[in-house]
Amino acid sequence: MKNKISILVLALLTVPYISFAQLKSVAYKDDSQKLSGFFAEAKRKNLDNAGVLILPAWMGIDDHSKESAVALKELGYHAFVADIYGVGNKPTNAQEAGKLSGSYKKDIANYHRRIQLALDQLVKNGANPDKIVVIGYCFGGTGAIEAARVNMKVKGVVSFHGGLARDAARNIDPITPKVLVLHGADDPYAPEKDIKDFQNEMRTAKADWQMNYYSNAVHGFTHKDAGSDNSSGMAYNKEAAERSWEAMLSFFKEVLK
């Protein structure tokens, strides 16, 4: 099994293209706003229909989030890639993405609702509602942490290079889902204050949390299209990507047993 996992990790993180033909497009709605996510049915039915909700980075649904769904399908998990922005609202550049993702961070209840709607779709497509984990990248990593903050019905959340900040005016309530944060040690977009505040928040919330740091890794270290220039603040790091993926799989075994 370990060898098979290693092969799948290599496929996810290093090959230039993975076929998405096995992903099913799923139409759903938030009131009048049309949403369109992607579902990957587990290839092997030996994990009690465990499910993984994938929250994409700030550009919306991308190849990276779809690749994650395909790899998780191969490992035996039902996976659903959430559409947070909605049909017709996908940003075309970083400026638009920053503005749009920022609006969801400001109106956090709206972000919570879109995450919950995607969770509902994961269950409707066959995932066991008692065995679900939320994972997210960058902006999606922030969303995964938010799922824990409001105690969505999930066993755990995994944030890959996600934003950790929260509005200081919000109450800190006890957190039930287990939390795993996978963080680039040199990420310039996560100030030390945000990290300390987050860790203190987890302590106050009496959360079961872990935070892994990856050396020489900056923001976006799992994204193959992020380039290799650490000085830009965002770059792919093969070692960090592989190690963080393995850490996630180990976390799954713990929380979904």
Section 232-250 average pLDDT: 97
- Nearest of 12, 92, 96 to residue 54 by alpha carbon: 12
- In this model, does residue 94 exceed pLDDT 70? yes
Q: What is the pLDDT of residues 221-239, one digit of tens each?
A: 999 999 999 999 999 999 9
Please give the CATH number for the structural domain made up of 2-255.
3.40.50.1820
- What global pTM score does this model have? 0.93
- Looking at 178-237, list the stretches that DSSP marks H as alpha helix, in order from N- to C-terminal side: 192-204
Q: Which of 151, 163, 154 is nearest to 194 (CA)?
A: 163
Alpha-carbon gap, residue 111 to 183, rounded angstroms = 22
In this prediction, residue 20 carries a pLDDT of 85
Alpha helices per DSSP H over 59-176:
63-74, 94-106, 108-124, 139-149
Note the pLDDT of residue 18. Answer: 64
Percent share of the chain, pLDDT over 70: 93
Please state the domain extents for the chain: 2-255
| pLDDT one-digit tens code per residue, 109-121 | 999 999 999 999 9
Taking only the tens place, the pLDDT of each residue in 2-16 is 555 445 544 554 444
Average pLDDT of the residues in 100-112:
97
- Give the pLDDT of residue 9: 47
Query: Which pLDDT score is estimated for 6?
Result: 47
User: What is the chain's mean pLDDT, rounded?
Assistant: 93
Cα–Cα dist 83/33, whole Å: 11
Predicted local confidence at residue 123, as pLDDT: 98
The pLDDT value given to residue 153: 98
Q: What is the pLDDT of residue 16?
A: 46
From the DSSP assignment, how many helices (H) and strands (E) are in the chain? Answer: 7, 8
